[in-house]
Amino acid sequence: MRKICAVVSSRANYSSIKSVLRSVSQNKNLILQIVVGASALIDRFGSAVDLIKKDGFKINNRVHMLIEGETVETMAKSTGMGLLEFPTVFRHLKPDIVLIVGDRFENMAASIAASYMNIPIAHTMGGEVSGTIDESIRHAITKFSHIHFPASKSAKERIIKLGERKENVFLVGCPRIDLAKKVLSDKKSILNEKFLNAGVGDKINFSKPFIIVSQHSVTTEYNDTRHQIESTMKAVNKINIQKIILWPNPDAGSDEISRVFRKFREKNLISNVRFYKNFPPEVYMKLMSKTSCLVGNSSSGIREGAYIGTPVVNIGTRQSNRDRGKNTLDCSYNENDIFKSVNKQIKKNKYKKEYLYGDGSSGKKIAKILEKVKVKIQKQISY
Amino acid sequence: MRKICAVVSSRANYSSIKSVLRSVSQNKNLILQIVVGASALIDRFGSAVDLIKKDGFKINNRVHMLIEGETVETMAKSTGMGLLEFPTVFRHLKPDIVLIVGDRFENMAASIAASYMNIPIAHTMGGEVSGTIDESIRHAITKFSHIHFPASKSAKERIIKLGERKENVFLVGCPRIDLAKKVLSDKKSILNEKFLNAGVGDKINFSKPFIIVSQHSVTTEYNDTRHQIESTMKAVNKINIQKIILWPNPDAGSDEISRVFRKFREKNLISNVRFYKNFPPEVYMKLMSKTSCLVGNSSSGIREGAYIGTPVVNIGTRQSNRDRGKNTLDCSYNENDIFKSVNKQIKKNKYKKEYLYGDGSSGKKIAKILEKVKVKIQKQISY
Amino acid sequence: MRKICAVVSSRANYSSIKSVLRSVSQNKNLILQIVVGASALIDRFGSAVDLIKKDGFKINNRVHMLIEGETVETMAKSTGMGLLEFPTVFRHLKPDIVLIVGDRFENMAASIAASYMNIPIAHTMGGEVSGTIDESIRHAITKFSHIHFPASKSAKERIIKLGERKENVFLVGCPRIDLAKKVLSDKKSILNEKFLNAGVGDKINFSKPFIIVSQHSVTTEYNDTRHQIESTMKAVNKINIQKIILWPNPDAGSDEISRVFRKFREKNLISNVRFYKNFPPEVYMKLMSKTSCLVGNSSSGIREGAYIGTPVVNIGTRQSNRDRGKNTLDCSYNENDIFKSVNKQIKKNKYKKEYLYGDGSSGKKIAKILEKVKVKIQKQISY
Amino acid sequence: MRKICAVVSSRANYSSIKSVLRSVSQNKNLILQIVVGASALIDRFGSAVDLIKKDGFKINNRVHMLIEGETVETMAKSTGMGLLEFPTVFRHLKPDIVLIVGDRFENMAASIAASYMNIPIAHTMGGEVSGTIDESIRHAITKFSHIHFPASKSAKERIIKLGERKENVFLVGCPRIDLAKKVLSDKKSILNEKFLNAGVGDKINFSKPFIIVSQHSVTTEYNDTRHQIESTMKAVNKINIQKIILWPNPDAGSDEISRVFRKFREKNLISNVRFYKNFPPEVYMKLMSKTSCLVGNSSSGIREGAYIGTPVVNIGTRQSNRDRGKNTLDCSYNENDIFKSVNKQIKKNKYKKEYLYGDGSSGKKIAKILEKVKVKIQKQISY
Q: Are residues C247 and C113 in the same domain?
A: no
A82 neighbourhood in chain D, CB within 8 Å:
none
Q: Do the Cβ atoms of B255 and D65 come within 8 Å?
A: no
Cα A46 to the center of its chain, rounded Å: 14
Q: Are residues B208 and B332 in the same domain?
A: yes
Q: Do the Cβ atoms of D116 and C76 come within 8 Å?
A: yes
Q: Which of residues 211-230 of D touch C (CB under 8 A)?
A: 219-222
Give the separation between CA D73 and CA D67, rounded to whole angstroms: 10
Summarize pLDDT for A347-383 with one digit per residue, the tens. 998 999 999 999 999 999 999 999 999 999 999 999 9
Q: CB-based contacts of C210: which residues, under 8 Å, 6+ apart?
A: C204, C241, C242, C243, C244, C290, C291, C292
Closest-CA distance of chain A to residue B239, Å: 32
Q: Helices B225-237 and B254-266 sit at what angle, rounded to 10 degrees?
A: 40
Q: Is D220 exposed, middle or buried (0-12, 13-18, 19+ CB in 10 A)?
A: buried
Residue C81 contacts B, CB cutoff 8 Å = yes
Q: How many residues does chain A have?
A: 383
Closest-CA distance of chain B to residue C11, Å: 23
> Which chain C residue has the Cα nearest residue D108?
C112
A113 neighbourhood in chain B, CB within 8 Å:
76
> Which chain B residue has the Cα nearest residue A83?
B80
Instruction: Give the pLDDT score at A381.
Output: 98
- Touching B: which chains, 3+ CB pairs < 8 A? A, C, D
D118 neighbourhood in chain C, CB within 8 Å:
72, 219-220, 222
Q: For A163-253, where are the alpha helices, taking DSSP H only?
A: 175-185, 193-196, 225-237
Considering only CB atoms, A380 lies closest to which of B72, B87, B129, namely B129
How far, in Å, are D137, D148, D321 from residue D171 at the CA level? 20, 8, 19
Q: Are residues C166 and C214 in the same domain?
A: no
Residue D139 contacts C, CB cutoff 8 Å = yes
Query: Best interface-test mutation with C: which of B41, B66, B88 has the largest number of C CBs within 10 A?
Result: B88
D42 neighbourhood in chain B, CB within 8 Å:
68-69
Q: Do the Cβ atoms of A42 and C68 come within 8 Å?
A: yes
Local mean pLDDT, 10-residue blocks, chain B (383 residues): 97 96 98 97 92 97 96 97 98 98 96 98 98 98 98 98 98 97 85 80 92 97 97 98 95 94 90 93 94 97 97 98 97 98 95 96 98 97 98
Q: Are residues B205 and B319 in the same domain?
A: yes
Share of chain C above pLDDT 90, in %: 92
Closest-CA distance of chain B to residue C90, Å: 13
Summarize pLDDT for D335-349 with one digit per residue, the tens. 999 999 999 999 998
Q: Do the Cβ atoms of D135 and C76 come within 8 Å?
A: no
Q: Do the Cβ atoms of C381 and D82 come within 8 Å?
A: no
Are the CB atoms for A278 and A54 separated by under 8 Å?
A: no
Instruction: Give the pLDDT score at A266.
Output: 82
Residue C87 contacts D, CB cutoff 8 Å = yes
Q: Do the Cβ atoms of C64 and A67 come within 8 Å?
A: yes
Are the CB atoms for D53 and D94 separated by under 8 Å?
A: no
D267 pLDDT tier (thresholds 50, 70, 90) = confident
Q: Do the Cβ atoms of B84 and C81 come within 8 Å?
A: yes
D92 neighbourhood in chain A, CB within 8 Å:
92
Residue B310 contacts D, CB cutoff 8 Å = no
pTM above 0.80, yes or no: yes
Could you tell me the strand order of the sheet in which A200-201 lies? A200-201, A273-276, A242-246, A210-214, A293-296, A312-315, A328-331
A378, part of any domain: no
Residue D29 has pLDDT above 80, yes or no: yes
C352, part of any domain: no
Q: Are residues B137 and B253 in the same domain?
A: no
Do β-strands A273-276 and A242-246 pair in parallel, antiparallel, or remain unpaired? parallel
Give the separation between CA C263 and CA C258, rounded to whole angstroms: 8
Q: Which residues pair with B108 in a beta bridge?
A: none
Compute the average pLDDT of residues C230-234: 98
Q: Do the Cβ atoms of A67 and C71 come within 8 Å?
A: no
Summarize pLDDT for C21-46 with one digit per residue, the tens. 999 999 999 999 999 999 999 988 98
Residue B85 contacts C, CB cutoff 8 Å = yes
Instruction: Give the pLDDT score at C191.
Output: 75
Average pLDDT score over chain C: 96
Smallest CA-to-CA distance from D14 within D197, D181, D179 is with D179
Compute the average pLDDT of residues C154-166: 98
Q: Are residues C327 and C264 in the same domain?
A: yes
Number of helices (H) and strands (E), helices first, in chain C? 15, 13
C380, part of any domain: no
C378, part of any domain: no
Residue C67 contacts A, CB cutoff 8 Å = yes
Boundaries of domain holding B93: 2-174+358-372
Give the separation between CA D312 and CA D317, rounded to whole angstroms: 15
B89 neighbourhood in chain A, CB within 8 Å:
none
Reported as type and span, the H/E element at residue C101 is: strand C97-101
Q: Are residues B273 and B147 in the same domain?
A: no
DSSP assignments along A222-266, one per residue: GGGHHHHHHHHHHHHHTS-SEEEEEPPPSSTTHHHHHHHHHHHHH
Q: Which residues pair with C366 in a beta bridge?
A: none
Its sign, for the CA torsion A368, A374, A380, A383, is: negative
Are the CB atoms for A297 and A351 separated by under 8 Å?
A: no
Q: Which residues pair with C99 in a beta bridge?
A: C6, C122
D58 pLDDT tier (thresholds 50, 70, 90) = very high
Give me the phi and psi of C145, to 5 degrees please: -95, 150
Local mean pLDDT, 10-residue blocks, chain A (383 residues): 97 96 98 97 92 97 96 97 98 98 96 98 98 98 98 98 98 97 85 80 92 97 97 98 95 94 90 93 94 97 97 98 97 98 95 96 98 97 98
Could you tell me the strand order of the sheet in which B147-149 lies? B61-63, B30-37, B2-8, B97-101, B121-124, B147-149
DSSP assignments along B112-152, one per residue: HHHHHTT--EEEESTT---STTHHHHHHHHHHH-SEEE-SS
Considering only CB atoms, A67 lies closest to which of C39, C43, C67, namely C67
Considering only CB atoms, D200 lies closest to which of B42, B259, B266, namely B266
Summarize pLDDT for C56-72 with one digit per residue, the tens. 999 999 999 999 999 99
Residue B382 contacts A, CB cutoff 8 Å = no
How far, in Å, are C31, C52, C368, C370 from residue C28 at the CA level? 8, 21, 10, 12
Closest-CA distance of chain C to residue B59, Å: 14
Q: Are residues D151 and D211 in the same domain?
A: no
Give the separation between CA C326 and CA C356, rounded to whole angstroms: 11
Give the separation between CA C279 and CA D103, rounded to whole angstroms: 42
Count of structural domains, chain B: 2
Residue B373 contacts D, CB cutoff 8 Å = no
DSSP-assigned letter for residue A290 = H
Give the separation between CA D215 and CA C343, rounded to whole angstroms: 66
Q: Do the Cβ atoms of D43 and B266 come within 8 Å?
A: no
Q: What angle do CA B149, B150, B153 make, to 5 degrees?
A: 140
Q: Give the CATH number for residue B113.
A: 3.40.50.2000
Instruction: Give the pLDDT score at B193.
Output: 77
A382, part of any domain: no
A88 neighbourhood in chain D, CB within 8 Å:
85, 88
C383, part of any domain: no
Share of chain D above pLDDT 70, in %: 100
Q: Are residues D12 and D88 in the same domain?
A: yes
Query: Best interface-test mutation with B: which of D42, D44, D68 has the largest number of B CBs within 10 A?
Result: D68
C381, part of any domain: no
Reported as type and span, the H/E element at residue A100 is: strand A97-101
Q: Are residues A258 and A170 in the same domain?
A: no
How far, in Å, are B79, B283, C245, C336, D88 from residue C344 at the CA level? 59, 85, 19, 12, 46
Are the CB atoms for A311 and A351 separated by under 8 Å?
A: yes
Are the CB atoms for B66 and D68 separated by under 8 Å?
A: yes
Give the separation between CA D135 and CA C144, rounded to whole angstroms: 9
> Which chain C residue has the Cα nearest residue B83?
C84
D353, part of any domain: no
Closest-CA distance of chain A to residue B180, Å: 29
Q: Are residues A244 and A303 in the same domain?
A: yes
Give the separation between CA B124 and CA B144, rounded to whole angstroms: 13
Q: For D94-201, where are the alpha helices, taking DSSP H only?
A: 105-116, 134-144, 153-161, 175-185, 193-196
Considering only CB atoms, B80 lies closest to which of A80, A143, A219, namely A80
> Which chain D residue has the Cα nearest residue A81?
D84
Give the separation between CA D77 and CA B77, rounded to whole angstroms: 14
Closest-CA distance of chain C to residue B77, Å: 14
How far, in Å, are A91, B215, C242, D80 from residue A118 at the CA level? 11, 20, 61, 27
A80 neighbourhood in chain B, CB within 8 Å:
80-84, 109
Give the separation between CA D213 and CA A183, rounded to whole angstroms: 75
Are the CB atoms for C128 and C151 separated by under 8 Å?
A: yes
- Touching A: which chains, 3+ CB pairs < 8 A? B, C, D
Residue D75 contacts C, CB cutoff 8 Å = yes
Q: Are residues C212 and C292 in the same domain?
A: yes
- The amino acid occupying position A377 is I
- Touching D: which chains, 3+ CB pairs < 8 A? A, B, C
Q: Do the Cβ atoms of B68 and D200 come within 8 Å?
A: no
Q: Which residues pair with A298 in a beta bridge?
A: none
Give the separation between CA B48 and CA B8, rounded to whole angstroms: 9
Considering only CB atoms, B162 lies closest to which of A132, A163, A377, namely A163
D66 neighbourhood in chain B, CB within 8 Å:
67-69
ipTM of the prediction: 0.96
Smallest CA-to-CA distance from D146 within C136, C74, C134 is with C136
